[in-house]
Amino acid sequence: MSEPRKNVRAVACMVLENTLSSLASVDPVLSSFDRDLEERDRRLLHQLVFGALRWLRRLDAIIVEASSRRMEEIDRALHCPLRIGVYQLVFLDRIPAHAAVSESVDLARQRTHRGGAGFVNAVLRRVAASPSLAAWPVVAEDPVQRIGIETSHPDFLIAEWIRQYGERQTELLAVANNRAKPFHLLSFADRGGRPALAAELAEEGLVTEASSLSPLGLVVRGGNPLDTEAFRRGVCYIQDEASQAAALVPPPRDGETVFDAAASPGGKSLCLLATGRDVRVVCADLGLSRLEPLIGNLRRLEREIPVVVMDARERAISGTFQRVIVDLPCSGTGTLRKHPELKWRVSRSELERLSAAGLTLLDGVARLVEPGGILSAITCSLQDTENEAVAERFLERHRNFSRLGLEERLESPLDEFVQGRGLWRILTSGDHDGFTVQVFCHSPGAA
């Protein structure tokens, strides 16, 4: 294998630093830096950035042990060259060790004094002598710290999950978060459904298999669907299979009227339409800028859905709906596989802020649910502080709502993820993300 262009590591350091120092998603930061790279270098850049973000805490632990210094004692300008270097040595067997070391040393020399470059060289050479995770074991006895360091998650998040799910399930969840995931596609019943989409993609050289979770979904095992004519023609939509499943809790009924209160980019509404049922949907979001992704998707998919600019916390439209769907503000901890940067931003105060915002949004959309209708609150987070706790406060304030029983409304395999009355949750695992759905019924005449 010929050596990739030498600027890729420098670009990776800039992306990593920009992502960690801002609240921006890593994807737009990456896009702003990778435009001029060849495809091979672009793949390496994404691998380095996502790998370093996923394994950030474990990389830092190795750096600390190899240098005998705390990270706070190391020049901040050297953090990312060290992280990128250690990641290559420990996780990428196709990168020659001498290349990983020498280019990180060159980066250090550009960023700081000669002594800094020598320090990076010494640390990476120690790691290169034992380039595996097993050679740098975690010795913490406390399970929160041990799992947190071994799987590269913050202690706060691990502690939350152990409280909810137990130590073993938390470990499995944290391990799953560090695995890359394949593309998932949503097919549409009125365009031939899953069999027709699979056949068309096969003709374009893609390898797919049916989703085990969603009756509408395909998992891509080979090829890039974004490069296909099928995608350009609008016969499929990129959507995680667990997200598809969450939108179908419970399945829609023919003729059902639906209000999607925080709709963009459109996955929940599109999933309901994809079933082929005669569902009448209205989509809303805060402003035109928020709605642009939804409008773009509707245009590509050739779908006509009424779109409203509206703050769902305030009743800005008249009428009620048989189903109201709302994506609650959340930490996104069910999507850490594709958004690993979120791990390093979550905190107890942030969960409290998001929970308060979610309750306010639920209060607002409750007025749009007709008597006998349902309210579906969806998050891509796994903490009860953002889900069950919010629901309990909502039900205390809205006595005319109650949790809707789901067991008899869902078929296999979705019924396996019912966690209690009106509560459906799937943890990150296999090929998919994690989601929580809570469903409430508006009971006429309830006190």
Residues 164, 99 contacting (CB under 8 angstroms): no
Would you tell me how many other CB atoms lie within 10 Å of the CB of residue 24? 12
Strands 435-442 and 423-426: antiparallel
Find all residues with CB under 8 Å of 396, minimum gap 6, and list them: none
Give the residue from 180, 86, 94 showing the smallest Cα distance to 133. 86
Burial of residue 129 (CB within 10 Å: 0-12, 13-18, 19+) is exposed
Q: Judge whether 380 counts as a catalytic residue.
A: yes
Find all residues with CB under 8 Å of 260, minimum gap 6, and list them: 268, 269, 281, 282, 283, 284, 325, 326
Residues 358, 438 contacting (CB under 8 angstroms): no
Is the Cα dihedral 394, 400, 405, 409 positive or negative?
negative
First-to-last C-alpha distance (Å) of the chain: 71
Q: Catalytic residue, from 80, 271, 380, 441: name it.
A: 380
Structure tokens that stand for 326 in this block: 């709302």
Peptide bond into 371 cis (omega under 30): no
Amino acid 77 reads A
Name residue, tokens 């270098």.
Answer: 41
- B/e letters for 286-297, b = 16+ CB within 10 Å, e = fewer, are eeeeebeebbeb
- What are the residue numbers of the active site? 380
